[in-house]
Amino acid sequence: MGKYLYMAVTPDSFESPIFIENSVSDLSSRLGVAPSTVYNSINLGRSGKISGRKIVKIKNL
């Protein structure tokens, strides 16, 4: 298993999970976007209000 998990969550204060994947490529294919979109959302700290989902990276235990 990878070192990180990538999650698409709701952009509200609860951040309920929508999708959880082991890689950026898996998450991007699940969301129907380019992998660069996922990387930019994480690195630039996008809120996700417009798209309806926020993308976060969490350390896998």
Q: What is the pLDDT of residues 33-61, one digit of tens each?
A: 999 999 999 999 999 999 999 999 999 88
Percent of the chain with pLDDT over 90: 93
State the pLDDT confidence band at 3, using cuts at 50, 70 and 90: very high
pLDDT at 23: 95
Q: Indicate yes or no: pTM above 0.75.
A: yes
* CB burial of residue 57 (10 Å; 0-12, 13-18, 19+): middle
Residue 55 pairs in a beta bridge with: 8
Q: Compute the mean pLDDT over every residue in the chain, rounded to the nearest whole number.
A: 94
What whole-number distance in Å separates Cα of residue 9 and Cα of residue 6?
A: 10
User: What is the domain extent for residue 24?
Assistant: 4-59
1: pLDDT strictly greater than 70? no
- State the virtual CA torsion across 53, 12, 57, 18 in degrees, nearest 10: -50
Count up the domains in the chain and report the number.
1
